[in-house]
Amino acid sequence: MPRLVSHPDEVKIVSRRFGMGATSIDRYLELGGYEPVKKCLAQGPEWIIEEIKASGLRGRGGAGFSTGMKWSFVPKQSAKPKYILVNGDESEPGTCKDHLIFLHDPHAVIEGTIIAGLAVGAKMGFIYLRGEYRYLLEIMERAVADAYERGFLGSKIFGSEAEFQIVTQTGAGAYEVGEESALMESLEGKRGIPRIKPPFPAVVGLYGGPTVINNAETIATVPHIIAMGAAAYAALGTPRNGGTRLFCISGHVERPGVYELPLGYNLKKMIYEVAGGIPDGHKLKAVVPGGSSTPVLLPEEIDIGMDFDQVGKAGSMLGSGGVVVIDDHTCMVEFALRIISFYAHESCGWCIPCREGTDWLKKSLTRFHAGFGSLSDIDNIQYLAENMLGRTFCPLGDAAAMPTIAFVKKFRKEFEDHLNGKPCPYAREGVPQLTVV
């Protein structure tokens, strides 16, 4: 079981029950679980949606769309069944928060799903786990079975007239399926390829029915908001960025791990105080603020609050909350190669710019890093990435292009240092170099 970390600055909301044995339904109930859903049953759908809107909760998957707004888009009347789909296909490199929720607090996901169902009038929820999280499925399924046994799921939940069913499902190992429409295709048993939008899932989604798709962390936060009140939750963050979120700090820091901090928490402080700074007396070279697809920030750019708006203003994105810290012993060309290799491997191949673009970027960077590059390659890499940006069928192409452009623009000198057949000048004895798969 991964080591849990802690820091006094943390405000534990979603992670409140981590490490407290809440996988047991009795323990979960002891810790106040399933009270919020009862409150929701009493208050009705309009109240739930207003409460979530007022909390300022924004999607924790990366795009940061208002959860309350998303729920309100679902039509009240629908000929086809409505669905809640929990996106637990957590695959963005640098991101490892949802797996802790499934591991420590599966009932929070179930409870949040029921509340979402009550809010939009859905009777069916799906919890979709990343293929590589198969080992968490057992925990999740146990929790679902327990909830059914207690009458929290089924045809008359909590003794009310309301019905709600939950089905769990794992993927087969595709990052692309984290994109919401590809997720629906995968869940329907098809190739994991995104759908054309519009129509949006809130109108035509899973099996053609209106569907709410929320990130697992978003859903797990919902019961807490109901319990503590929207205003109290919103007050924890910055304006328009309500509450806390799980930041996954990895890379060259003393104490890597998942920390729950209020939105707007200073990034520099996060690295140097919460995570304990850079080890071995090395210096900070760069920070990836929100998962591998977000453009890299330079040390002089990190004195910012970590919320959707401030990181956006700094030219990057808050994304999935995966903060990757890079020290001065890292080769940025190799880092770029590592990231683009991931996207080349994960591109579904549907559209030309992403399928061919990621592949050529990977090939060019591989050659370039090995010392066989030329000056024009640097411009070509940037040209290629710039011509992928905004041209692809789904955001995966942007996710590959955005960081690449940032690497070339911000670390052009490091690229130039690889020219003329020189071996990588950043390779240091004793420092493990990232290897390309």
Partner 1 sequence: MPEVTFTVDGKKLRAPAGTLLIDACRKAGIEIPAFCYYPGLSLQAACRMCVVRQEKVPKLQTACTTTVAEGQVFITESPEIAQARKATIQLLLGNHPLDCPVCDAGGECELQDMTFKYGAGESLYAEAKHHRDEQQWSPAVFYDRPRCILCYRCVRMCGEGMDVWALGVSGRGADSLIVPNQPNQLDCEQCGMCIDVCPVGALTSGSYRYKTRPWEMTHVSTVCTHCADGCTVTLGVRQTSDGSEIVRADNRDKNGINGDFLCAKGRFGFDFVESPDRLRQPLVRSNGRLEPASWEHAIRLAASKLKEIRDTRGGAAIGVIGSNRTTNEENYLLQKFARTVLHTNNIDHERSTDYAALARALAGQSGKTASLRDIASACAILLIGGNPTDEHPLLAWLLRTNVRLNRARLYIANAKPIKLTRQAKDALKIKSGDYNDLPASLDAGRSAFAKAIRAEGSLLVIFGEEMRGEAVEKLVAWGVKRGNVRFACLGDHSNSRGAADMGLLPDLLPGYVPVAAPGAFSEYPNLPATPGKSLPQMIEAAGKGELGALLVVGADPVATRKLDPTLFNSTFLVVQDLFLTETAALADVVFPAASLYEKSGTVTNTFGDLQLLRKGADRAGVKPDFEILVRLAGGIIDDIKTLVPFGQRGVTGDLGQSRGAQAGEADRHAIWLEANGLEPKLSPFDPLAILDEIERLVPGYPLDRINLFAGNDVHTKLSSPGYVPVAELAGSGLIAPAHDTLFTSGRLGRWSEALKQLAQHQAKELVETAAD
Give the range of 98-106, 270-278, 322-330, 358-366 binding partner 1 by CB under 8 A: 358-366
Q: Report the SS3 class of residue 66.
A: strand
In terms of CB distance, is 125 or 373 closer to partner 1?
373
Query: What track of x and - describes contact with partner 1 for positions 372 through 391 (by CB under 8 A)?
Result: -----x--x--xx--x--xx
Decide if residue 358 touches partner 1 (CB under 8 A): yes
Decide if residue 63 touches partner 1 (CB under 8 A): no
Residue of 122, 102, 307 whose CA lies nearest to 219: 102
Decide if residue 174 touches partner 1 (CB under 8 A): yes
In terms of CB distance, is 160 or 387 closer to partner 1?
387
In terms of CB distance, is 68 or 353 closer to partner 1?
353
Give the range of 118-126, 179-187, 315-323, 343-351 binding partner 1 by CB under 8 A: 343-351
Interacting residue with partner 1 among 150, 367, 412, 428 (CB under 8 A) = 367
Interacting residue with partner 1 among 19, 229, 349, 423 (CB under 8 A) = 349
Q: How many CB atoms lie within 10 A of CB 142?
A: 14
Phi, psi angle pair for 390, to nearest 5°: 80, 0
In the bound complex, what is the minimum distance in angstroms from residue 354's beta carbon to partner 1? 8
Decide if residue 283 touches partner 1 (CB under 8 A): no
Q: How many residues sit close enough to partner 1 to count as binding (CB under 8 A)?
A: 32
Rounded Cα distance, 132 and 170, in Å: 8
Query: What track of x and - describes contact with partner 1 for positions 179 through 208 (by CB under 8 A)?
Result: ------------x----x------------
In terms of CB distance, is 218 or 358 closer to partner 1?
358
- The single-letter DSSP state of residue 418 is T
In terms of CB distance, is 272 or 360 closer to partner 1?
360
211-215 sheet: strands from edge to edge: 165-170, 124-129, 83-88, 211-215
Residues in contact with 260: Cβ distance below 8 Å, sequence separation at least 6, in sequence order = 10, 11, 12, 13, 14, 15, 244, 245, 246, 247
Handedness of CA 291, 293, 296, 302 (dihedral sign): negative
In the bound complex, what is the minimum distance in angstroms from residue 137's beta carbon to partner 1? 23
DSSP string, 360-403: HHHHHHHHIIIII--HHHHHHHHHHHHHHTTTSSSHHHHHHHHH
Rounded Cα distance, 309 and 241, in Å: 8
Interacting residue with partner 1 among 156, 283, 363, 409 (CB under 8 A) = 363
In the bound complex, what is the minimum distance in angstroms from residue 352's beta carbon to partner 1? 5
Q: How many CB atoms lie within 10 A of CB 204?
A: 18
Decide if residue 356 touches partner 1 (CB under 8 A): yes
Decide if residue 437 touches partner 1 (CB under 8 A): no
Decide if residue 65 touches partner 1 (CB under 8 A): no
244-251 sheet: strands from edge to edge: 257-262, 244-251, 322-327, 284-288
Give the range of 122-130, 138-146, 269-277, 347-355 binding partner 1 by CB under 8 A: 347-355
Decide if residue 350 touches partner 1 (CB under 8 A): yes
Residues in contact with 149: Cβ distance below 8 Å, sequence separation at least 6, in sequence order = none
Interacting residue with partner 1 among 152, 393, 407, 411 (CB under 8 A) = 393
Residue of 289, 245, 244, 291 whose CA lies nearest to 271: 289
Give the range of 106-114, 125-133, 266-274, 344-352 binding partner 1 by CB under 8 A: 344-352
Give the range of 220-228, 278-286, 341-349, 417-425 binding partner 1 by CB under 8 A: 341-349
Rounded Cα distance, 252 and 50, in Å: 42
Decide if residue 347 touches partner 1 (CB under 8 A): yes
Interacting residue with partner 1 among 360, 410, 417, 424 (CB under 8 A) = 360
Cβ–Cβ < 8 Å for 127, 133: no
C-alpha radius of gyration, the chain, whole number = 22
In the bound complex, what is the minimum distance in angstroms from residue 128's beta carbon to partner 1? 18
Rounded Cα distance, 59 and 66, in Å: 6
Binding region for partner 1 (CB under 8 A):
174, 176, 191, 196, 344-353, 355-360, 363-364, 367, 377, 380, 383-384, 387, 390-393
